[in-house]
Amino acid sequence: MTGTWSLIRLILRRDRVLLPLWIVISALLPASIAASTAGLYTDQAARDAFAAASMSNPAQLAMRGVIHEASVGGLTAWTLGSSLTLIGGLVSILLVLRHTRAEEEAGRRELLSSGVVGRHAPLAAALVVVPAANVLLGLLSVPGLVANGLPAGSSLLFGLSVAGGGCAFAAVAAVTAQLTASSGTARGLAIGVGGLMFALRAAADTGGVAWPAWLSPFGWVRLTRAYAGDRWWVLGLFVVFVAVLAAGAFALSVRRDVAGGLLPARQGPATGTLRGAFGLAGRLHRGTLAGFAIGFGLLGALLGVSARGLDTQLNTPQFRDLAAVLGGSGARVSDVFFSFVMYVLSQLVTGAALVSALRARGEEVAGRADLLLSTPVGRLRWALSHLAFALAGPALLLAVLGVAAGLAYDCDALRVAGATLAYLPAVWTVVGIATLAFGVLPGLAAAVSWTALGIFLVVDLLAEFRLASGVVLDVSPFVHVPALLLDGAGSPVAPLLALTAVAGALAVAGLALLRRRDLATA
């Protein structure tokens, strides 16, 4: 264990931005949810009605589980238990692997191990910092909850439950880090275990059989019943789980070589069939794209299921009025809901498209473009091979999203898919911006593209709260897409053609500038 303390300091130094950001956001979230719950549902009758509606919605049951008590505290714990464990678990997995297996894969661990650093030190350091961060964020959330008038004891229990969830997945990652030589595979394994755990809890809460929830940290986070009876002893399950897995990870780590894994590295074909730049791009993009397609498909299905009950659940005069204001008289609440959600999701799809669009720049930075471009593959062909996936990818994702949502909702998949695909030209416009930045400011391409998307998000948010109008609003390409599910929507042809033209012009300019500049790795 020699050198653990130095490695802890190294981790804190490397993640000096990420760690505080994650801790602060996660610690502030409970107080803000508690405040808004108290504000939205002022009396017990309102809270009971909300709880009853939520419990009759299978999507809510699957996502968040059962509401134990319809108090402000009970609802806050229900709203956040699953989501905070999801976020904390994911961040914990990524952090632990980043400081263990990824370091080994990059060869940096060897450098450290040749110094005075014990065999167990890297794993020990990661397993100190990440769980400590989880516990810290759990403790920091307590004062905010107490300030909202919630009991201190239950708030502490809630904070520790969430911390326990994060720690559990840090321990899972510690084990998967020992199994494979590739950090990507270790990440996939850990996230897969997380998915399985989530599914166990979701199955228990929707299926009416309680015991599977007891097998999953996602279940334990809710089974502590904070604000609804406070079962402190459930925290012991986290402690046992983390202790067993951590001990297992240390035991496994002495049975393998540095940079080796317990599972044999998979071998691939000795000869290749890739024909050129486009074949290579296909190989590089297909995994990510398939992952996104599955994700958006599931998201769409979940939304479709949630929207099913909306028309009856929200059949109150207020919501009918709201629907009429937003969607014209006689608009269905579910159509308004879908239109709004599509708007937000199209921006998520844009994020996925940016990942593809920026891949060419990633290849350039890594130096792999140098090798490929020293062959008869020209720059334009190379850039187009990646751009093709940045343009076709979002078309696939929007179609999958729309079809899945439509099928899960009312079987009119084509109508919903048409509405989602209408966002394609807006997504392309952001891809165009990324391509232009890649051509002219390669070092800032990623920053410029994501900032542009961020600005559009803010503009849209302002629009939603009626805080912006006119010229400011026109900046965002998403604002110009008509909501095709609503009767009042105008003809989509003109705005969509205009957006496509803008996207095309941006991309062409970017490609032309790319041909004129030096390749640069920084």
Of 247, 251, 494, 519, the residue at the interface with other proteins (CB under 8 A) is: 519
User: What mask of x and - would describe binding to other proteins in positions 155 to 194, judged by CB under 8 A?
Assistant: --------------------------xx-x----------
Asked if 289 is part of the footprint of other proteins (rule: CB under 8 A), the reply reads no
**Interface residue with other proteins, options 344, 371, 461, 512 (CB under 8 A):** 371
443 binds other proteins (CB under 8 A): no
Q: Please tell me whether residue 258 binds other proteins under the rule CB under 8 A.
A: no
Identity (one letter) of the amino acid at 394?
P
Is 139 in contact with 159 (CB distance < 8 Å)?
yes
Q: Which of 17, 43, 114, 275 binds other proteins (CB under 8 A)?
A: 275
Under the binding rule (CB under 8 A), the answer on residue 267 touching other proteins is yes
Q: What is the identity of the amino acid at 86?
A: L
Please pick, from the candidates 291, 378, 443, 454, the single residue that binds other proteins as defined by CB under 8 A: 378
Instruction: With beta carbons less than 8 A apart as the criterion, state whether 130 and 42 touch.
Output: no
The encoded tokens of residue 1 equal: 């264990």
291 binds other proteins (CB under 8 A): no
Cα–Cα distance, 68 to 222 (Å, whole number): 9
Q: Is 255 exposed, middle or buried (0-12, 13-18, 19+ CB in 10 A)?
A: exposed
Beta strands in 474-518 (DSSP E): none
Q: How many residues bind other proteins (CB under 8 A)?
A: 37
Interface with other proteins (CB under 8 A), residue from 192, 207, 236, 367:
367
Binding mask 123-162 for other proteins (x = CB under 8 A): ----------------------------------------
Selected range binding other proteins among 12-20, 38-46, 168-176, 277-285, rule: CB under 8 A? 277-285
Write out the two tokens for 5: 């303390």
Nearest in space to 71 (alpha carbons), one of 79, 60, 59: 79
135, 373, 463, 479: residue in contact with other proteins (rule CB under 8 A): 373
**SS3 (DSSP) at 358:** coil
Q: Is 271 in the site for other proteins (CB under 8 A)?
A: yes
Report the amino acid identity of residue 420.
Answer: T
* 43 interacts with other proteins by CB under 8 A: no
The correct pick among 111, 251, 274, 494 for binding other proteins (CB under 8 A) is: 274
The smaller minimum CB distance to other proteins, of residues 277 and 427, is found at 277
d(CA 458, CA 349): 16
Tell the residue number behind the tokens 């800032």, with chain if given.
444
Residue 377 binds other proteins (CB under 8 A): yes
**Residue 181 DSSP one-character state:** S
279 is a contact residue toward other proteins (CB under 8 A):
yes
Q: Which of 129, 284, 303, 390 binds other proteins (CB under 8 A)?
A: 284
Question: Shortest Cβ distance from residue 372 to other proteins (Å)?
Answer: 8
Give the integer Cα–Cα distance in Å for 442 and 453.
Answer: 17
**By the rule CB under 8 A, 287 interacts with other proteins:** yes
Contact 349, 398 (CB under 8 A): yes
Q: Is residue 366 involved in binding other proteins (CB under 8 A)? A: yes
Q: How far apart are CA 327 and CA 83, in angstroms?
A: 31
Structure-block tokens of residue 71: 């108090």
Lookup result for tokens 């691939």: 268
The residue length of the chain stands at 522
Rounded distance between C-alpha atoms, residue 455 and residue 69, angstroms: 40
Question: Which residues here bind other proteins, judged by CB under 8 A?
Answer: 105, 181-182, 184, 265-277, 279-280, 283-284, 287, 366-368, 370-379, 518-519
